[in-house]
Structure 1
Amino acid sequence: MNKDRITDRFISYVKVDTTSDPESSTTPSTKKQWDLANKLAEELKTIGMSDVTIDDNAYVMATLPSNVEHEVPTIGFISHFDTSPDYSGTNVNPQIIENYDGKDIVLNEEDNIILSPDYFEDLLLYKGQTLITTDGSTLLGADDKAGICEIVSAMEYLINNPEIKHGKIRVGFTPDEEIGRGAHKFDVEKFGADWAYTMDGSQVGELEYENFNAAGAKIHVKGKSVHPGSAKGKMINSIYIATEFINSLPRLETPEHTEGYQGFFHLYSIKGDVENTYLQYIIRDHDRKKFEARKALIQRIADEINNQYEEEFITVEIKDQYFNMKEKVEPVMHIVDIAEEAMKQLNIKPIIKPIRGGTDGSQLSYMGLPCPNIFAGGHNFHGRYEYVPVESIIKATQVICKIAELTQKKAK
């Protein structure tokens, strides 16, 4: 596989601004996502893919036909082209660090922004490799343009090397994954795969088929604004009531205090004044019963505070976002086994662990398309310290090719 070609392809993707917008009601949520969607559709045609389509919502699909006579299950590979609104994705200016020496990387000398292995220990895994980093002012977009690069590069490699036998392969690229809507308008029937893999993990070797159950909670706290000079017995400060609500949740059950299978409540937005305060939470847990208990606790605290004040100052709106794909993947565990075997044959140590988040695959699994997640190679997603080793992109590309080869062998 041509390292320079893969590097150039990845950089061409990250330079296209595709930030999604959670406040938008359109699909895609931002018009600029069309720029990369259209580019990808044309590129898939150029490399020789068949049945290339892009629908009214910017979902891109294409086919690599089987090159064997016997029947083989149709498999798919999926990645998203939007980037997180958590950090700027405008004017991404990647830096290439050849033969990384294991020392600090100066991302931005003027602002003294340093990517250091003293803080990000995983950097030391890639000593001697080629790293692609940010310039310290934006995110990189390896989440998930590394995944897209890997899928396109794998399809191109299989087309150019027909001696590698495989069944029918479908590829799909989606908008708005970062705001939880990547699979909402994905046409599973049109995609037509028996199962698929999202290329959306991090470290080399990651293989995941468990993810959080997820919900979002919007809390509205109402108050009563009265002139401070005559407020005694009359003013109700919504900010104080909101603070009481916040402090009633378990303080150590937050992202910064949890790991592995531990769930959390995450307060990520607060806006308010005396009259109205708005809190936004995400609720996460791998265990379905604990997940339901977390949602119930949010409502119970609101009810208790309302009862305390003998008035409904707090209203709660909770919406489920996605569920743990484990329930849908376990009955077809051979699809995980194939990916694990592919990694082992490439001398990659599989790291099977739960996702502390979600992917398009979690929703797609509940839509009838079982869809584990495979590493894409990037680190420190959603911020200025994001980076990806080129060698990791190449390894993920090789895994895709090997999965295709093993799937047809097992079908004989």
Structure 2
Amino acid sequence: MNAVDGPRVVLGVAGGIAAYKSAEVLRRFTESGHRVRVVPTPSALEFVGAATFEALSGQPVHTGVFADVHQVPHVRLGKEADLVVVAPATADLLARAAQGRADDLLTATLLTARCPVLFAPAMHTEMWEHPATRANVALLRSRGAVVMEPASGRLTGADTGPGRLPEPEQIVELGRLLLERPDGLPQDLAGRRVVVSAGGTREPLDPVRFLGNRSSGRQGYALAAVAAQRGAAVTLVAAHTADLADPAAVEVVRVGSALELRDAMHAAVKGADAVVMAAAVADFRPVSLAGHKIKKTGSDPEPLALTTNPDILVELVGAREPGQIVVGFAAETGDDTGDALHHGRQKLARKGCDLLVVNAVGDGMAFEVPENAGWLLAADGSETVLPHGSKALLASRVWDAVAARLRDR
């Protein structure tokens, strides 16, 4: 997409040490075809200079309402934007936005914006957890703004805890989701606990080699990230992934093989409201593990003996607690007996889960790409097309269906 024709994004930058990460947010938006106008607060320019933002965006940078007055920027920027992202959003910025202040160009733009607005908070833990900040966040969310849950980790100095700015990739991904579904992200999973599996398992052959698959883990990570931003307490059981950053506000449990994933899932799902098995679990594993690297001798190797791995989804369905929603994923290809959707319907009947996401896989589809599409099949016989879009968009549609079923139970 040419940036001249792309969605119009206002990137607000408040004055915190995390402001340096806003340059990466800006770069990711512009490189994916968005037209970005950076609107920093005066204090933000103490951390990152205007020249940096102007060079990366190709747009002028102002902080006050008296620059380019003939264009009325304090009204025009918000009215013309397709998305407003504030990253980082400090405690002060959140407070001024909640109060409806208009004492600089950024807060004036927030008042005139009629598009989705995304705040990515960054501050010390004590400030994030202060009742005033929590009240401001709740007020902004009640007005339709999306306020991300911050990450937990190293802050300034030696401090650690929740309040760290989410990774730029995650901010941009959530921003793209709001462009795809401008109705926003409801907090309909607040008070719920969900468990998501992601990535591909690896079954070791020897100390060097393994049997694996092409799963990058992106879809499972998107499911975990979206659930957390909809208010859920999320546990992500992650097998091998493509060096993905941990989603903000998500507990991550790392595993390697299918048997490790099985044990971790059975432990994690106790007391959960919903379970989503998005991991690509190996169907087979070697019967034995060589204690040393298998050498190439010049002759054909011995046949590899395999045994079947347990069907973790079937086990979770059989052991589910009353009211627990179980969602499966099926990566399918067509063959002489039917297409991917046909095989998906058969798999839903065999697995017994409440919902099954069916993806048609192949070159450039589902695996190792940022987009996805498919069908959402339900045990009650309903079928919903999941149109092509970001993996975050598909994740949001899955959680729509899960939330609706949780409300009915």
Tell me, yes or no, whether TM beats 0.5. no
Q: TM-score, normalized by length of structure 2? A: 0.31
Higher relative contact order (CA 8 A, sep 6+): 1
